[in-house]
Amino acid sequence: MPGTTPPFRAEHIGSLLRPQSLLATRAAFAKGQADADALAAAQDAAIAEAVALQKRVGFRFATDGEFRRRSYHSYFYQQLGDVSIDNVGGEPAPGAGGGTSRGAQPVAIVNSRVRWTHPINVADYQFLAGQGALPKITMPGPCALHFRGGDAAVTAAAYTDVDAFWDDTVAAFQRELVALAEAGCRYVQIDETAFAKFGDPDVQAWLGARGDRWETLIDTYIGVTNRVLRAAPRTLAIGMHLCRGNRGGHWHAEGSYDAVADKLFNALEIPFYFLEYDSPRSGTFTPLRLVPKHKSVVLGLVSTKTPELETIGALKDRVEEASRFVDLDRLAVSPQCGFASVETGNPITPQAQEAKLRLVVHLAQEIWGEA
């Protein structure tokens, strides 16, 4: 249950706005005007400042803001082979049209087999631990690559058998989790957007057009994720974040959790969930009635997509409403997603980001007497 061990009463999802100094160094590096040492130094300095921010506002843990990554999932998957998960441009967003706030749906390319050859997040964990913080390591989910391209992307160049792709993917994630645990890591957040997006009729139609039935796909994804979880070291506290897309203030899907709630909460073997609940696009709290009593939920009530600061009174009312379906002692609070799922970030200022993070901590303290 939330409290002094993960998840905490006050949480955030992981990514933070990149400082302009870091973005400038990264741009210079891309142009050959700065070397790898300069980039690493800029990242280290920016992460130290991010840890200080998280301590200052009162969080019990810290992430590195995902400052070493271009996006929340690109770096991880690139370490697994000739694989790209976030190609944007060729594929329209499901349901996109005039006046919409949907972003383009990224597309996956799989040019080689998925192979884990070295620890991917261990150095990130070690740097964070050296900052005197309890590190939370964020990593993409094992189904993210397939969701972006389906069987067609998997078999286009690298595989003839999709089952072999899943075996390779499961093995890669299992080995990474073991490496993290052996390094001393105790807290991991898996970012998997597919489950929340399955509830959007436009996404369902988009999947159907490429030959996938979402009702079948969700069972496949749950089975794959459970294989990873069952082999994970018992010393790791592993939660799953679900959202409907978060890129520059835009989103990829909408719709409640109703269509997926039973399988999401009862078949998926995750002990706690970070759920997006910052806007009417997410539906009501009613599906939370299906959360079993041994699981907990972090309510993503504060928006990272807009600069307007929520009021603590309205947020407390929403927590009270959610507690009609999940006992209050099994709830916690957070923003709905990261502030920068891609390095360019969402359209808010660093000042607004800090205010929203501080608000989450204040809200937790008001409700539970602790963050």
pLDDT tens-digit readout, 92-101: 445 444 334 5
Q: Report the pLDDT averaged over residues 296-321.
A: 97
Contact yes or no for 173/228 (Cβ under 8 A): yes
pLDDT of residue 184: 98
Task: Tell me the average pLDDT of the chain.
Answer: 91
Mean pLDDT value across residues 53-78? 92
E-strand stretches of 96-180: 107-110, 137-140
d(CA 338, CA 318): 20
Give the mean pLDDT of 146-168. 95
Q: What is the reported pLDDT for 199?
A: 84
pLDDT in tens, 206-217: 899 989 999 999
Of 256, 236, 249, 317, which Cα lies nearest the Cα of 6?
A: 236
What is the rounded distance in angstroms from the CA atom of residue 137 to the CA atom of residue 65? 10
| pLDDT tens digits for range 315-327 | 999 999 999 999 9
- Domain coordinates in residue numbering, the chain: 20-368
Paired sense of beta strands 83-87 and 107-110, if any: antiparallel
Both tokens of residue 209?
Answer: 């057009």
Q: How far apart are CA 212 and CA 216, in angstroms?
A: 8
Predicted confidence band at 311 (pLDDT cuts at 50, 70, 90)? Answer: very high
Which is more confident, 281 or 196? 196
- Model confidence at 270: pLDDT above 70: yes
What pTM value is reported for the model? 0.92
Q: Could you give the maximum distance between any two Cα atoms of the chain, in Å? A: 57
CATH class of 20-368: alpha beta
CA nearest neighbour of 299 among 12, 32, 45: 12
Residue 3 clears pLDDT 90, i.e. is over it: no
Q: What confidence score (pLDDT) does residue 363 get?
A: 98
Query: Where does the pLDDT of residue 134 fall: very low under 50, low under 70, confident under 90, or very high at 90 and above?
Result: very high
Tally the residues of the chain: 371
Backbone torsions φ then ψ of 120, nearest 5 degrees: -100, -40
